[in-house]
Chain A
Amino acid sequence: MSDYAIRIEGVGKTFGGVHALRDVALRVRAGTIHALVGENGAGKSTLMNILAGILRRDKGTIEVFGDPADFASPVESQKRGIAIIHQELALAPDLSVAENMFLGDLGNGSMFVDWKTMNRKAGSALSAFGFNISPTTMCGDLSVAYQQIVEITKALVIQDCRVLILDEPTAVLADPETDVLFDNLRKLKESGITIIYISHRLEEIFRIADAITVFKDGRTVADLDPRSCTEEDIITNMVGRRLEALFPPKPERDPDGDVLLKVDNLTRSGVLDNVSLNLRVGEIVGLSGLIGSGRSEVVRAIFGIDPIDAGTIEVSGKRQVIRKPSDAMRVGIGLVPEDRKRQGGILPMSIRENMTMTNLEAISRFGITNARAERRIAQASQDRVKIKLGALNDALSSLSGGNQQKVIVAKWLNTDCKILILDEPTRGVDVGAKAEIYSIIAALAADGVGILVISSELVEIIGLCHRTYVMSEGVIAGELKGGEMTEEAIMRLAIPKRRVH
């Protein structure tokens, strides 16, 4: 019998040639709280999904309480006592607490629901953890923290789990709720439950964890002891220099050039708090931060997708009210959105039609399309962004991810926009296409276009941008220029701070 609840050695996982996990080793002692930290995309969630039976590993060994394990489905993983609580809770809001807890087997083996027994069982399970939640309350009426408690109780009691995985549980919690959660996690630990805890908030990790494992680029790079290590130790291990020769030279720009875009005190209740930034002619500015820090929400607000509660937007010195994307387009702003397939391109339509979607005036007269003008414009776009394609009449879906993204960039080049915002422009794109997208961005900046780039990849921000804003929890945590932009400096600003009580 081993002391380890979970023992993982040499586990690897690739998604279509991309290494999500290269060589991971993780040993979690039974009855401890073990924290996993790392950048977005470092491999934490992939590993946990393998452990929960949602994904399957390509290589390596996994042992659960000393016995080898290879889960083909979440049910198999649950049977071995592993439960995962995702950040997005999986409760049905219009069903009661008890119904949610027993959802897999409402009738307890029979065709009819025995409400009395079910409610009693649910109630006693909840009170066993010291919660006074009525089993007949609708889940939608509970606060997020209590919903989380319901999920955890469900995992512990109904599924009888011994290893509980929590993926950023506090991201949706307010401070007092976090305290409640932590008290309960400690109680669970004392009763012998093993907890794997994923979080970006280092302060929390020091409060609750017994051990820390740091992930980087699909590898586990360090095992640290929270009693002896510092925040600096963790951050230094999380980042590292991997600057590749992918990036073109940064174009010259005038640091005192005309301000193209000036955003002041942009606020959206609960999402963005007094965000101010500016962008000058020919400048490439980064907007970095962890996923969920409000990066995409800033550009959504600027582009008129989400409404704002307060704040002003000036374009070339003139105040503009932007209520919808067409308003943003009219004042010369373009957006390459983060989700290429759902927001960026219209996959079933032709490449040609996608390219000219933003500039229909140029290909039509009195609303009637001019096929020749359209072909000419599409051809010019293809040459400009070097898209490899069969025919311009082929569906956009026939292209690779990188080439699809180039089509979406091209459609904004056709509008002659002065400001181009790119949200994760190279996500899911192969290395060759990445380098090409970078050089398109640099060429645009050299032509005087102001560019705002959102990226989760720190290397991309450092290699591509003149300067960057770093966001954390809905506010601009800081701005870094030129040589100040290092992975450590960005990560230090991006990681949520201890909250002011």
Chain B
Amino acid sequence: MSANKLFRLVINQSTIVVFVLMLVAAGFLSDRFFSPDNITNILRQSVPLGIVSLGLLYVILTGGIDLSVGSVMALVSVVVALTIPGFGVAGAVAISLVVGVACGLVSGSLVANFGIAPFIATLATMTITRGLSLIVSKGQPIFIDDQAFMDFGGASVFGVPALFFLLIVVTIAALFLNRKTVFGRLVVAIGSNETATRFSGINITTIKLAVYAISGFTCAIAGVVSATRTGVGSPILAIGFELDAIAAVVVGGASLAGGRGTVVNTLIGALILSMISNLMNLMDIPGYHQQVVKGVIIVFAVLLESAKRRATTHH
């Protein structure tokens, strides 16, 4: 392989390259990083962020944004905790997924049917769902008393957490939707050029509604996952989580203007962010400092992305 080809490969796969470099660096910075316990820990921690980011990727691909992800997770965790006693685990999970999709449809409808800017529409949904979760829970955490439900959160298969398999399943589904379906293609088309897509006789409203519903659905899964891990339905769960999710998608190389972004890189983006948090904990970096480091890393990731775009458009 020539140097030029290698260079181009590095540029094109920059997200993966950054990920590998970070893994190597992490190994040097902390000798506990590669211990089996810690790896399991990272994998488990990355699940909610990974799942939410994959749903959010669809919204961002259309050129939209979903700020309500953290609030929807909180509402769902409260709903699942409240409904397990009455409906059983399966019933409660089903209800939770419906609630998540319903929240997404509200945002989607505000954007697609009423033409409200996605930032504002989902800001409203974010505030409303956070309020609802506080009302429904009366502001108190709700403890879950169901052993089967709790066991899933801690279960492992061959040392890999069961929850991580869930993330893999969601990734495969997202990949399939993105690569193999008409829907996935139209999502990219809308983000690339909404006018031309509409002029091709495509019904934009339906597609936009659907991407927010997908985001609501993945938030619901993440909300249930959080509940199984902690055993609590918490109305103050995942405050500020939308920013982590947006960061993961952007670190994964997606464009907030829409049209550009891949499923695999988004997953890696989420893993990078989870890994950074974990590494800084291992290194005993205080929480306040961690935020600064995270911010700097996001800036570098985006700069790398724009440098890459410039490099590839010159050809």
In the complex, the chain B residue whose C-beta lies closest to that of A415 is B201
Pair B182/A346 contact, Cβ less than 8 Å: no
Q: Please measure, in the bound complex, the distance between the C-alpha atom of A329 and the C-alpha atom of B200, giving whole angstroms.
A: 8
Q: Which of A325-348 contact B (CB under 8 A)?
A: 325-326, 328-330, 335, 337, 342-348
Within 8 A of A (CB), among B180-201: 180-183, 185-186, 188-189, 192-193, 195-201
Q: Report chain A residues within 8 Å CB of B202.
A: 325-326, 357
B203 touches A326 (CB 8 A): yes
Query: Smallest CB–CB gap between A396 and chain B, Å?
Result: 10
**B194 CB, min distance to chain A CBs, angstroms:** 10
Pick the contact of B196 from A303, A343, A368 — CB < 8 Å? A343
A344, B196: Cβ atoms under 8 Å? yes
Does the CB pair A349–B189 fall under 8 Å?
yes
Task: Verify A342–B182 contact, CB threshold 8 A.
Answer: no
Q: Closest CB of chain A to B255's CB: distance in Å?
A: 10
Given B189, B193, B198, which contacts A325 in the complex, CB threshold below 8 Å? Answer: B198
Query: Measured between alpha carbons, how far is A337 from B192 in the docked complex, in Å?
Result: 17
Cα–Cα, bound, A470→B197 (Å): 30
Q: Is A393 an interface residue (CB 8 A)?
A: no
Contacts of B197 in A (CB 8 A): 346, 357
Assess whether A358 is interfacial by the CB under 8 Å rule.
yes
CB of A487 within 8 Å of the partner chain: no
Question: Taking the nearest CB of chain A, how far is it from the CB of B189, in angstroms?
Answer: 6
* 8 shortest interchain CB distances as A-B pairs: A329-B201, A346-B193, A357-B200, A326-B201, A360-B182, A364-B182, A346-B192, A325-B201
Interfacial chain A residues near B259, Cβ < 8 Å = 348
Kindly state whether residue A411 has any CB partner on chain B within 8 Å.
yes
Contact A347 B192 (CB under 8 A): yes
Q: Is A367 an interface residue (CB 8 A)?
A: yes
Contact B199–A367 (Cβ < 8 Å):
no
- A343, A347, A360, A368: the one contacting B199 at CB < 8 Å is A343
Given A342-B196, A348-B259, A369:B203 Cβ within 8 A: no
Q: How far is the CA of A139 from the CA of B113 in the complex (A)?
A: 32
Cβ contacts under 8 Å, B192 to chain A:
346-349
A328 to B186, CA, bound (A): 19
In the complex with contacts A342-B195, A344-B199, A357-B189 CB distance below 8 A: yes
Most chain B beta-carbon neighbours within 10 Å: one of A303, A330, A364, A411: A364
A346 to B259, CA, bound (A): 10
In whole angstroms, how far apart are the Cα atoms of A343 and B201 in the complex?
Answer: 12
- A-B contacts, 23 of them at CB < 8 A, read A325-B198, A325-B201, A326-B202, A335-B199, A342-B193, A345-B193, A346-B192, A347-B193, A348-B192, A348-B259, A348-B260, A349-B188, A353-B185, A353-B189, A357-B202, A358-B201, A360-B182, A360-B185, A368-B180, A368-B181, A369-B180, A411-B200, A415-B201
Query: Does A440 interact with chain B (Cβ within 8 Å)?
Result: no
> Do B181 and A369 touch (CB < 8 A)?
yes
Contact across chains for A367 and B203 when beta carbons are under 8 A apart: no
Task: Choose among B182, B188, B196, B197 the residue with the greatest number of A CB atoms under 10 Å from its CB.
Answer: B196
Interface status of A446 (Cβ within 8 A of chain B): no
**What B residues does A344 contact at CB under 8 A?**
196, 199
A364 CA / B179 CA spacing, docked (Å): 13
How far apart are B60's CB and chain A's nearest CB, in angstroms?
16
| A-B interface contact total, Cβ < 8 Å | 68
Q: Looking at B183, B186, B195, B201, which has the most chain A CB atoms within 10 Å of its CB?
A: B201
Q: How close is B129's CB to chain A, nearest CB, in angstroms?
A: 29
**Closest Cβ–Cβ distance, residue A410 to chain B (whole Å):** 12
The closest CB in chain B to the CB of A300 belongs to: B199
User: How far is it, in angstroms, between the C-alpha of A369 and the C-alpha of B179 when the chains are bound?
Assistant: 9
* Chain B residue nearest to A325 in the complex (CB): B201
| A329 to B198 alpha-carbon distance, docked (Å) | 11
Q: What is the CA–CA distance of A329 and B203 in the complex, to the nearest angstrom?
A: 11
**A91 within 8 Å of B (CB atoms):** no
Minimum CB–CB distance from A36 to chain B (whole Å) comes to 33
Does A208 make an interface contact (CB < 8 A)?
no
**Chain A nearest CB: distance from B12 CB in Å?**
15
Contact present for B193 and A367 (CB under 8 Å): no
Which residues from 347 to 392 on chain A have a C-beta closer than 8 Å to any C-beta of chain B? 347-349, 353, 357-358, 360, 363-364, 367-369
With an 8 A cutoff between CB atoms, is A95 at the interface? Answer: no
Bound complex: CA A349 to CA B192 (Å) = 8
Name the CB-closest residue of B to A305.
B199
Looking at the assembled complex, report how far the CB atom of B197 sits from the nearest CB atom of chain A, in whole angstroms.
Answer: 7
| B-side contacts of A325, CB under 8 Å | 198-202
Nearest Cβ on chain A to B208's Cβ, whole angstroms: 14
Separation of A346 and B185 alpha carbons in the complex (Å): 12
A369 and B201 contact, Cβ closer than 8 Å, known pairs A346-B196, A357-B189? no
CA distance A245 to B192 in the complex (A): 39
- Minimal Cβ-Cβ distance residue in A for B198: A325
Taken together as a complex, chains A and B put the C-alpha atoms of A411 and B200 apart, in Å, by: 9
Give the complex CA separation of A324 and B206 in angstroms: 13
Q: Are B188 and A343 in contact (CB under 8 A)?
A: no
Complex CA–CA separation, A344 to B195 (angstroms): 8
- Among the listed B182, B193, B198, which residue makes an inter-chain contact with A369, where contact means beta carbons less than 8 Å apart? B182
Q: Which of A328, A337, A344, A357 has the most CB of B within 10 A?
A: A357
Report chain A residues within 8 Å CB of B183.
367
Could you mark each residue 49-84 of chain A with 1 if its beta carbon is under 8 Å from any beta carbon of chain B, else 0? 000000000000000000000000000000000000
Considering the chains assembled together, what is the distance between the CA atoms of A358 and B193 in angstroms? 15
Report yes or no: A367 in contact with B196, Cβ–Cβ below 8 A.
no
Residues of A with C-beta under 8 A to B199: 303, 305, 325, 335, 337, 343-344
Q: Assuming A357-B200, A367-B182, A369-B181, what are 13 further A-B pairs, CB within 8 angstroms?
A: A324-B203, A325-B200, A326-B201, A326-B203, A344-B199, A346-B189, A346-B192, A357-B202, A358-B201, A360-B182, A367-B183, A369-B180, A369-B182
Q: Considering the chains assembled together, what is the distance between the CA atoms of A346 and B194 in angstroms?
A: 9
B260 shortest CB reach to chain A, Å:
8
Q: How far is the CA of A337 from the CA of B201 in the complex (A)?
A: 12
User: Within 8 Å CB of A329, what residues of B?
Assistant: 200-201
Q: B185: which of A303, A369, A415 is its contact (CB, 8 Å)?
A: A369
A328 touches B201 (CB 8 A): yes
What are the residues of chain A within 8 A of B188 when measuring CB–CB?
A: 349
List B residues 79-94 near A (Cβ within 8 Å). none
Given contacts A349-B188, A358-B200, A411-B200, contact A367 B181 (CB under 8 A): yes
